[in-house]
């Protein structure tokens, strides 16, 4: 995939993902708001129901036993209505003092006799009381059930005027019951607050009085239906956020967040795979180009040298002949190292690779490698300096791979220096390890490249300049050899200043 298409693809995906997240957030906010509203409505309904239950109880309570039986005996609904109007009038101190209400004559048990559009507020209220009484009567008719409040009777005539004597625990349990019926399964704190907003006539156990005083769930309450002046409030507060009510919403939000994370992870994974694929493609092309070049050049040089050697006039001069022979053997060595490294690297990746360790003389191997490279270094007007200290201990290692390793590092030191290379090779033993250091005055390696330098096929990007050929497998091979010997390799390098590769191999 082309780089530009990949960028376009990533941008579009990122935009789509951001869009999805925004939609999800606004959806979550909306449903949180909705569940908040639903919660408020449920609480309001529950409280309305409690108040109407209290009203019902109250009316039932005022209709004496005798009155109930008398009401039940009425055959005609109108007679019953009339009787109930009487009850309302006779108990005017409980309902209203003065009223001029003409109840409509209803043929059904309608709570709202017609017409009622021009009723005054007081009349409306009386009609509501009347309605409540009708309900009470219906209940009596259907079940002849009597309200048996016993001690919990909230409407005891003696307690009527004194609000403090109201049966608040009954109110408390009614509210809890109704909240559960309305789907609110959070246990609330309940209180009854005086209009001065300070005195709590009732406060459920563990409730925080300050929460109750400031709560938004506040309902005007007339304990005895007498005083419509809003003296008291029933107040509710909830210990946890109402949002937990909407467990469905939370579940869907959680699922969509997980999906977004999953999709993003998959996207990142695919982009990385695509870009590493691209990189591999580039590396493959580079590899083939370099390989062709690296093999073609020595072959061309060798065939040229051979042609020259065939010429008798050239071969008659010993020095010239030696020079051509040297060229052939150097190019041959270069190719051998190259092919050896390629083969070893391929072997290592196929996992069929095994070491053949034996006791080795590190300093002797270093010396051989230095001798082999001397010619190449001299051709660049460079030097190789050796500072070899005796190794105190026995080193078991595979001499072939150690030799290849040293060759690779020396070759790199020569290749990656723009000026005449000055290479210093140091050996010493330190804390049970044989230490080998190869330093150069080359181009150095930038910090960000140092992290990747031992990765297979990694080459420091030189832009469009391809003056130094290579495959990016040398250092990977070196680090694998060192690891297989249970050793360590490190690099200290500064751009433009040179590099030092340090290898530590454990001594027996
Ligand atoms: P290559 O075949 O490219 O030389 P290597 O694995 O040997 O592959 O090296 C990987 C990269 O590390 C090289 O492309 C080069 O950029 C960088 N490098 C290796 N050795 C040196 C060094 N001594 N000085 C500067 N850069 C180096």
Q: What is the pLDDT of residues 247-305, one digit of tens each?
A: 666 677 788 788 888 888 988 898 888 888 887 887 778 778 777 877 888 898 899 88
Which protein residue's CA is at the shortest distance from atom 25 of ligand 1? Answer: 444
* 479 alpha carbon – ligand 1 mean position (Å): 13
For residue 314, count CB atoms less than 10 angstroms from its CB and return exposed for 0-12, middle for 13-18, buried for 19 or more: middle
Q: Is residue 470 lining ligand 1, measured as CB closer than 6 Å?
A: yes
Q: Is residue 473 lining ligand 1, measured as CB closer than 6 Å?
A: yes
Hey, what are 120's tokens?
């005054």
Question: Virtual CA dihedral for 344, 349, 351, 354, nearest 10 degrees?
Answer: 30
For residue 363, count CB atoms less than 10 angstroms from its CB and return exposed for 0-12, middle for 13-18, buried for 19 or more: middle
* 476 alpha carbon – ligand 1 mean position (Å): 10
Which protein residue's CA is at the shortest distance from atom 16 of ligand 1? Answer: 460
Note if the pTM is more than 0.85: no
From residue 64, alpha-carbon distances to 67, 71, 459 in Å are 5, 10, 102
Which of 406, 470, 492, 499 has the most ligand 1 atoms within 8 A of CB, as the residue to mutate? 470
Rg (CA), the chain: 49
Number of Cβ atoms within 10 Å of the Cβ of 482: 23
Predicted pLDDT of residue 69: 58
Q: Is residue 471 lining ligand 1, measured as CB closer than 6 Å?
A: yes
Q: Is residue 416 lining ligand 1, measured as CB closer than 6 Å?
A: yes
CA end-to-end span of the chain, whole Å? Answer: 52
Q: Which residues pair with 499 in a beta bridge?
A: 493
From residue 126, alpha-carbon distances to 113, 122, 156, 227, 332 in Å are 12, 6, 21, 13, 117
Predicted pLDDT of residue 291: 79
Which of 382, 422, 437, 460 has the most ligand 1 atoms within 8 A of CB, as the residue to mutate? 460
CB 437 within 8 A of CB 501: yes
| CA of 444, closest atom in ligand 1 | 25
Predicted pLDDT of residue 11: 85
Helices 3-62 and 168-181 sit at what angle, rounded to 10 degrees?
140
* 459 alpha carbon – ligand 1 mean position (Å): 6
Q: Is residue 472 lining ligand 1, measured as CB closer than 6 Å?
A: yes
Predicted pLDDT of residue 449: 92
Predicted pLDDT of residue 347: 78
Q: Which residue's structure tokens are 């020569």?
A: 414
Q: DSSP class of residue 466?
A: -
Predicted pLDDT of residue 127: 59
Pairing assessment for the beta strands 189-194 and 200-203 based on DSSP bridges: antiparallel
- In terms of Cα–Cα distance, which of 136, 148, 104 is closest to 123? 104
Q: Is residue 413 lining ligand 1, measured as CB closer than 6 Å?
A: yes
* 417 alpha carbon – ligand 1 mean position (Å): 11
Q: Which residues of the chain have pLDDT under 50?
A: 93-119, 140-161, 225-229, 242-245, 463-466
| CA of 477, closest atom in ligand 1 | 6
Number of Cβ atoms within 10 Å of the Cβ of 349: 13
Pairing assessment for the beta strands 232-237 and 189-194 based on DSSP bridges: antiparallel
| CA of 438, closest atom in ligand 1 | 23
Contacts of 442 (CB under 8 A, 6+ apart): 413, 416, 417, 418, 421, 498, 499
Q: Is residue 498 lining ligand 1, measured as CB closer than 6 Å?
A: no
- Cα gap 360→366, rounded to integer Å: 11
Q: What pLDDT, in 10s, does the model give residues 400-410?
A: 899 989 999 99
């Amino acid at each position: 995939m082309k780089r530009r298409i990949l960028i376009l693809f990533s941008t579009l995906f990122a935009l789509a993902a951001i869009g999805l997240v925004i939609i999800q957030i606004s959806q979550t906010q909306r449903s949180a708001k909705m569940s908040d509203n639903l919660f408020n409505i449920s609480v309001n309904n529950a409280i309305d129901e409690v108040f109407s239950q209290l009203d019902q109880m109250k009316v039932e309570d005022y209709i004496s036993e005798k009155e109930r039986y008398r009401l039940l005996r009425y055959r005609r609904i109108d007679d019953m209505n009339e009787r109930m109007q009487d009850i309302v009038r006779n108990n005017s101190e409980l309902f209203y003092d003065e009223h001029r209400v003409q109840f409509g004559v209803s043929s059904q048990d309608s709570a709202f006799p017609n017409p009622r559009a021009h009723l005054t507020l007081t009349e409306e209220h009386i009609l509501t009381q009347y309605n409540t009484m009708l309900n009470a009567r219906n209940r009596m008719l259907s079940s002849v059930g009597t309200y048996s409040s016993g001690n919990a009777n909230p409407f005891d005539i003696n307690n009527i005027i004194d609000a403090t004597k109201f049966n608040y625990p009954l109110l408390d349990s009614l509210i809890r019951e109704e909240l559960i019926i309305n789907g609110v399964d959070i246990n609330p704190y309940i209180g009854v607050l005086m209009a001065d907003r300070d005195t709590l006539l009732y406060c459920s156990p563990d409730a925080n009085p300050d929460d109750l005083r400031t709560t938004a769930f506040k309902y005007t309450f007339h304990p005895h239906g007498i005083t419509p002046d809003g003296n008291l409030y029933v107040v509710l507060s909830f210990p946890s956020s109402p949002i937990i009510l909407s467990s469905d919403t939370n579940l869907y939000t959680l699922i969509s967040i997980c999906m977004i994370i999953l999709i993003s992870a998959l996207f990142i994974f695919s982009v990385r795979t695509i870009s590493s694929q691209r990189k591999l493609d580039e590396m493959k092309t580079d590899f083939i180009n370099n390989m062709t070049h690296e093999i073609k050049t020595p072959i061309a040089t060798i065939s040229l040298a051979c042609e020259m050697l065939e010429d008798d006039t050239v071969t008659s001069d010993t020095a010239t002949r030696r020079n051509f022979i040297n060229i052939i053997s150097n190019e041959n060595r270069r190719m051998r190292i190259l092919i050896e490294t390629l083969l070893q690297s391929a072997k290592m990746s196929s996992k069929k690779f095994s070491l053949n360790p034996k006791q080795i003389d590190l300093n002797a191997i270093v010396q051989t490698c230095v001798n082999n490279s001397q010619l190449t270094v001299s051709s660049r007007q460079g030097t190789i300096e050796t500072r070899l200290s005796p190794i105190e201990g026995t080193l078991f290692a595979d001499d072939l791979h150690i030799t290849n390793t040293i060759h690779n590092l020396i070759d790199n030191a020569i290749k990656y220096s723009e000026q005449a290379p000055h290479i210093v090779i140091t050996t010493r033993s330190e804390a049970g390890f044989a230490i080998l250091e190869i330093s150069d005055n080359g181009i150095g390696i930038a910090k960000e490249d140092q992290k990747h330098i031992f990765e297979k096929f990694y080459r420091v990007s030189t832009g469009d300049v391809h003056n130094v050929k290579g495959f990016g497998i040398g250092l990977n091979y070196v680090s694998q050899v060192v690891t297989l010997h249970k050793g360590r390799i490190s690099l200290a390098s500064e751009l433009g200043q040179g590099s030092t590769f340090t290898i530590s191999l454990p001594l027996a």
